[in-house]
Amino acid sequence: MDHQRRIRTTGRASVGVRIFSVFNYIFVTLIALTCLLPMVNLLAISFSSSSAVSTGQVSFWPVDFTLESYSFMAGKPEFFASMKISVLRILLAVPLSMIVSVLAAYPLSRQNHEFGARKYYVWIFIVPMMFYGGLIPSYMVVRNTGLIDSIWALVLPCSINVFNIILLMNFFRSIPKELEEAAAVDGAGHFRILLQVVLPVSTPVLATVLLFFIVNHWNSWFDGLIYMNSPSKYPLQTYLQTQVVNRALMALEAMRDIRRMGNISDRTGKAAQIFLAAVPVLAVYPFLQKYFTTGIVMGSVKG
């Protein structure tokens, strides 16, 4: 399985290495634990009674354990409806983004002497990384391309991510030239080289970029808010934004609704929703992570 690891352990494990190893495990474990705390805190809140939460009794363990906030959520069809929209968005957007990005990264990974127009194309890709037009112009463009209130408004405008293209490009460039040259001698065109030579050895970077796209699309909320016309079409993160209200911002005028102010202190429900919304991505990550290691294939062809 782990080819690289096996090779490296053939070196003698000196005392120094062992001490380092123990220290390393402890150190990294401690760091990782600090990363868990906020999540544990959220979970504890979501399983506690709201009066225990608002009196500040809950830190890392539920107080007055209850499943109320989860059963409350089960009764909220909006939550699952918006989750469906998010899933649909990812099913449409991620494949599209992947294809477009790979197709763009391959030509950019050619050498300048080989593909002369490359040096001009590169700048076309760099400028949008630094300059952005802002909300209103973006909105106007989306409106005038007829996408308002459609799922494609969440797909097309953010389908290009230059950072991901650069990652792909750099990886493609590091692939041994001999492989491509051999294919070219056999008469293969660029499309065939990309499909049959480059992609098969690019699993690590493809998995990384795939993960980045999924995370990006899953976590975006602002575009859903401005491009969709009613809350029933919001993707999950946008829906959550509307639920997880920052109470301090409430103006006097909102107080008109004093009859229905009971909901605002619902921190337990919010915590449950935040947690549930993070679960899918956390579940995808280890799955993709497994593929990172298959990058080993790339090195082996060289030898």
Partner 1 sequence: MKKMKRNLPLHIMLLSALILMLIYNYLPLLGNIMAFQKFNPTKGFFRSEWVGLDNFRYVFAMPDTLQVVWNTFFIAVMKLIMGIIVPVIVALLLNEMRCIRYKRALQTIVYFPHFLSWVILAGIMVDVLSPSRGIIGKAFTALGLEAPFLLGDANLFPFTMVFTETWKEFGFGTIVYLAALTGIDPTLYEAAGIDGAGRWKQTLNITIPCIMPIVMLMTILAMGNVLNAGFDQIFNLYSPQVYATGDILDTLVYRIGMEDAQYGVATAVGLFKSVVSFLMLSLSYGLAYKYTDYRVF
Partner 2 sequence: MKNKKRFLAVFVTFLMVVSLLYGCGGKTNDPAPQTSTGSSSDASVSQPADGGEDGPFGKYAEPVTISVVKNLGQSSMEFPEGDSLEDNVWTRYYEDQFNIRFDWKWSTTLEQYDQKVNIAITSGDVPDVMKVNRTQLKMMVDNEQVYDLTELVDKYASDFTKEVLNADDGASLDSATFSGRLMAIPAIVSDLQSANVLWIRTDWLGNLGLDIPETVEDFWTVAEAFATKDPDGNGANDTYALALNKDLFGTGSVYASGEGFFNMYNSYPNIWITKDGKLAYGSIQPEAKDALAALQEMYAKGYMDPEFGVKDANKVNEDVCAGKAGMMFGNFWNMAWVNDAKVADPTVEWVPAAIPGNAKAQLSFGTTSYYVVSKDCKYPEAAFKLLNGYLDKGYGEHAEPLIYNITPEGYGPFDYPVITMEPSMKNFEAAKKVTAALESGDTSGLNAEQMNYYELCKLSLAGDHSNNNWHQLKMFGPGGSLGVVQKYWDNGNVMPDLYYGPPTPAMTEKKSTLDKLQLTDFSVIIMGAPVDDFDKFVANWLNLGGRDMTDEVNEWYANK
Cα–Cα distance, 119 to 111 (Å, whole number)? 9
Pick one of partner 2, partner 1, none as the site partner of residue 30 (Cβ within 5 to 8 A by kind): none
Residue 98: both structure tokens together? 């992947």
Distance from C-alpha of 139 to C-alpha of 227, rounded to nearest angstrom: 7
Assess contact for 110 and 173: CB atoms under 8 A. Answer: no
Window of 51-59, 97-105, 180-188, 203-211 that interacts with partner 2 by CB under 8 A: 51-59
CA atoms within 13 A on the CB side of 17: 7
Pick one of partner 1, partner 2, none as the site partner of residue 78 (Cβ within 5 to 8 A by kind).
Answer: partner 2
Under the binding rule (CB under 8 A), the answer on residue 159 touching partner 2 is no
As measured in angstroms, the least distance from the Cβ of 210 to partner 2 is: 17
Residues between 272 and 291 with contacts to partner 2, criterion CB under 8 A: none
Q: How far apart are CA 36 and CA 268, in angstroms?
A: 18
Residue 264's binding partner among partner 2, partner 1, none (Cβ under 5 to 8 angstroms by kind) is partner 2
Min dist. Cβ of residue 66 to partner 1 (A): 21
CB of 48 to partner 1, least distance (A): 15
Q: Which DSSP symbol is given to 31?
A: H
Distance in Å, CB of 269 to partner 2, minimum: 10
Within 240-269, the residues that bind partner 2 by CB under 8 A are 241-243, 245-265
Query: Using the rule CB under 8 A, which residue among 150, 203, 216, 293 binds partner 2?
Result: 216
Token pair for 137: 């112009």
Mention every residue, 6+ apart, whose C-beta is less than 8 A from residue 303: none
Q: Please answer whether residues 255 and 188 qualify as being in contact, where contact means their C-beta atoms are separated by less than 8 angstroms.
A: no
By CB under 8 A, is residue 140 in contact with partner 2?
Answer: yes
> 196 is in the binding site of which of partner 1, partner 2, none (Cβ under 5 to 8 A by kind)?
none
What does 254 bind: partner 1, partner 2, none (CB cut-off 5 to 8 Å by kind)?
Answer: partner 2
Helix (H) or strand (E) holding 118: helix 118-130
CA 209-137-132 angle, 5° bins: 45
- For residues 1 and 255, which CB has a smaller minimum distance to partner 1 in the complex? 1
State in Å, rounded, how far the first CA of the chain is from the last one. Answer: 18
Buried residues in 263-273 as b, exposed as e (16+ CB within 10 A): eeebbbbbbbb
Rounded to a whole number of angstroms, the minimum distance from the CB of residue 264 to partner 2 is: 6
Q: Which residue has the tokens 């059963």?
A: 71
Rounded to a whole number of angstroms, the minimum distance from the CB of residue 255 to partner 2 is 6
Q: Does 223 bind partner 2 (CB under 8 A)?
A: yes
Which partner from the list partner 2, partner 1, none does 187 bind, CB cut-off 5 to 8 Å by kind? Answer: none
- Find out whether 201 and 301 touch, Cβ atoms under 8 Å: yes
Q: Which is nearer to partner 2, 10 or 144 (CB)?
A: 144
Q: Residue 24, SS3?
A: helix
Tell me how many residues contact partner 2 (CB under 8 A). 58
Q: Which residues bind partner 2 (CB under 8 A)?
A: 50-57, 78, 132-141, 143-144, 158, 161, 216, 219-223, 225-226, 229-231, 241-243, 245-265
